[in-house]
Amino acid sequence: MLKHFQVDELDVYVHEDRERMGKAAAALGGEALRKIITEKGEVNVIFASSPSQDTLLEALSKEPAIDWGRVNAFHMDEYIGVSENQPQSFANYLKMDFFSKVKFKEVFYINGMAENPESECERYSDLIMKHPTDVAFLGIGENGHIAFNDPHIANFFDPRLVIINDSLDEKCREQQVADGWFPSVADVPGSAITVSVYGLLKAAYVFTIVPGIRKSKIVKTCLEESIGNACPSSGIRVHRNAKLFLDRDSASLLSEGS
């Protein structure tokens, strides 16, 4: 590890590269999963769906002594109008890259093809209420979003657990192209169902994994500017059990002393 420091309540860890970062996040995340299983008998986890999470998920699938049969898995967002069998589906990404590698107790998917997206929000909210989130593994978008809580819709005080973003912002859609999900911005759906900021930060433990030079500007904003809806990810700074994992590239613009 290159550096460890604290910003408000948030522990920040900077590692040499994304592989070391992912393994370190998996080690501490795995420790939390084992602890909660020992205490409660099972654990409820929300996972982000993004290439930024690849090294975490790979390492987490190999973490020793996790009884995956006691883990209930959720994912945090899905495009409206995209089915879980399409390559662009976040459910499909997790199914192929992670959920198929270990045997979970249950996996709960958001249905992007639901006839009534508002009813789907209610259904997924009910599932989360029945399985209160113990651990959330997050990423941060280039516009500061967590899940699909873009700055123009993010609301730290909205008590709903699952909401609709019916106007994904341009920077968010550009990132989906850069990540390889779609060939052009025009192909990116304009709306999505997402677990809210409130819903994500209700987790007992929050682990945020943010590698890469493309994230360096927003990491600086998240850690060094005001906490608020303009940078939704800044909310992790007030969570008492939150940890942020960076690599050398994503931490490259942080001020000296951070």
> pLDDT over 70 for what percent of the chain?
99
Mean pLDDT of 100-114: 96
Look at residue 258 and tell me if it is in a domain.
Answer: no
**What is the pLDDT, as a whole number, of residue 181?**
85
- Which secondary structure element, helix H or strand E, spans residue 130, and what is its range? helix 117-130
Contacting residues for 37 by C-beta, under 8 A, at least 6 apart: 43, 66, 67, 70, 71
Residue 256 pLDDT class (50, 70, 90 cuts): confident
Which class for 129: exposed (0-12), middle (13-18), buried (19 or more C-beta within 10 A)? exposed
SS3 24: helix
Task: Tell me which residue of 109, 80, 102, 77 sits closest to 199, measured CA to CA.
Answer: 77
| 131 touches 97 (CB < 8 A) | no
Domain assignment present for 254: no
Beta strands in the chain (DSSP E): 3-7, 10-15, 43-47, 71-75, 77-79, 106-108, 135-138, 162-165, 192-195, 205-210, 242-247
* Res. 18 pLDDT band, cuts 50 70 90: very high
At residue 55, the pLDDT reads 97
Sign of CA dihedral 15, 21, 25, 26: negative
| Within a domain: 255 | no
In-domain check, residue 71: yes
CATH of the domain at 194: 3.40.50.1360
Determine the pLDDT at residue 179: 86
Domain extent for 109: 3-247
Provide the number of structural domains found in the chain. 1
pLDDT at 46: 98
Q: Is the pLDDT score of 257 beyond 70?
A: no
Average pLDDT over residues 238-255: 97
pTM score, two decimals?
0.96
Q: Decide if 154 is inside a domain.
A: yes
Within a domain: 257:
no
User: Is 253 among the domain residues?
Assistant: no
The contacts of residue 199 (CB under 8 Å, 6+ apart) are: 125, 128, 133, 160, 161, 162
The count of residues in the chain is 258
Q: Are strands 3-7 and 10-15 parallel, antiparallel or unpaired?
A: antiparallel
Q: Does residue 35 lie within any of the structural domains?
A: yes
